[in-house]
Amino acid sequence: MTNVYMKDSLKRITAVILLAAATLLVALQCGSIAKKEEAAALLRADASSSCNKMPPDGFFRESVESPKAAVDNKINASENAGIDVKNELTALFTDLYGLVGDVLSGNNVDTGELEVRFKNIFDGLFKLDADTVKTDPTADGVLKNDGFVASAAEVLWNYMDYYDTNRLKKQTESAGVTVKKDIPYISDGNKYHLLDIYYPENAAEKLPVIIDIHGGGLMYAEKEVNRVYASRLAKRGYIVVCINYSLCPDVTYPTQVSDVMASYRWVAENGEAYGFDLDRVFVAGDSAGGQLAFYTAAVNTSDELKSLYGVSDTGLNIKAIGLISGMFDMKNGVNSALLSCYLGYDYKNSPYYPYLQPEEIIDKSDIPPAYIVTSVKDFLHSASDDLDKLLTEKGKEHMYHDWQLTVNRSSGHITSVAYPDLPESAETIDEMLAFFEAHS
């Protein structure tokens, strides 16, 4: 279970290899200057701690197949060109572990401050990536989308893997729901082209469908991460289709769009066999899944965007979309630091770059009615707020719920998906489903 959400590809270099290549000592801003074992102890989860900790094998996962030689080549090539990679890399990963340590400590760190620190770290790593590619004699001028940025992101996804695994251990799927697992929507043997279908038990008629797209920064997780949430939606009388999609940086963003569109096409073509009411199809997505839900709903109604991404018509009529803590703002703030993972180092010259933002595609498509939810404690709060303003300006039908502080806990990022049984989550789910029903 621990590794179910981790990608198989070894293209990404683990944080420990980078740190070993850079220096044997990493300074941590949580009170110690530590070696690998001490860093692991700092972030270790034990029986008495909360699940918001990281076990040592999560941050420091090694493999005999990991391409350490490739890292050494990049560093050596850079040093030959006079670029001081080791010292800069050490400083940037020191800052990264300090940032993670601050988050794990539970200190009340300002979200804006975290965003600035995060962006500074990843901007620095991107510069190192770009410089080392230029000096790598094996690169042949090809701008790849793996490297130091992707490896630093791995630190964050390792934490999320442990966090999600422990969260799900404490949650139970709804009784009275059956699941059909691992159905291919593209028959190519790729696990990222599989989906699961959740049904209310003893369903005797066609039911409305919710296609659920999981989050994870476009780089992490699989369909099972939303299984408890999906079972809650199915219990309410929906068929829920949870999809996998290929993950960056093993692929780039256009492949992800193509994957999601292929899943829509599969749903449209298999309604009769699986009991789908194709007159009542909705899409829900959280975080990065919210971005994909919004974006592919736009592609689904735009000949220009279909042509750009090389996808054909899906035949699916999406009645409404549910966008939970969506990662809509791709070019600013936190997300902009990861654009090299999504579109490659030369991302600004990508043909897809001019079409990433909601405001860049809103007039090229017919966006379905949208339910948008965020909260004051959501680190992507501004993205939902900006989308609400854009849809209002364009006269697009939508509903916006911006949670403030709540009685039992502060509603945060993807709360209704990660913790579907909280009172505020139940209210959010009720509201989203009522919105869907109003647009059936």
| pLDDT value at residue 144 | 53
User: Which residues, in sequence order, are bridge partners of residue 10?
Assistant: none
What residue ranges do the domains of the chain occupy? Answer: 15-168, 176-438
| pLDDT value at residue 238 | 98
| pLDDT value at residue 34 | 30
Closest listed residue to residue 373, CA positions, set 413, 420, 332: 413
- Phi, psi dihedrals of residue 74, rounded to the nearest 5°: -65, -45
Per residue of the chain (440 residues), what is the pLDDT tens digit? 333 333 333 233 233 223 222 222 222 222 222 333 333 333 332 222 222 333 333 333 332 233 344 445 555 655 665 556 777 877 887 888 788 777 666 566 676 787 788 888 988 988 888 777 766 655 554 445 567 787 777 777 877 888 899 899 999 999 999 999 999 999 999 999 999 999 999 888 999 999 999 999 999 999 999 999 999 999 999 999 999 999 998 899 999 999 999 999 999 999 999 999 999 999 999 999 999 999 999 999 999 999 999 999 999 999 999 999 999 999 987 788 889 889 988 899 999 999 999 999 999 999 999 999 999 888 899 999 999 999 999 999 999 999 986 555 556 889 999 999 998 899 999 999 999 999 99
The model's pTM? 0.81
Asked if 265 and 316 touch (Cβ cutoff 8 Å), the reply is yes
Q: Under CATH, which number does the domain 176-438 receive? A: 3.40.50.1820
Tokens representing 58?
């999560």
Closest listed residue to residue 245, CA positions, set 231, 228, 226: 226
Parallel, antiparallel or unpaired: strands 194-200 and 207-213? unpaired
Closest listed residue to residue 99, CA positions, set 26, 3, 12: 26
Q: Is 51 helix (H, G, I), strand (E, B) or coil?
A: coil
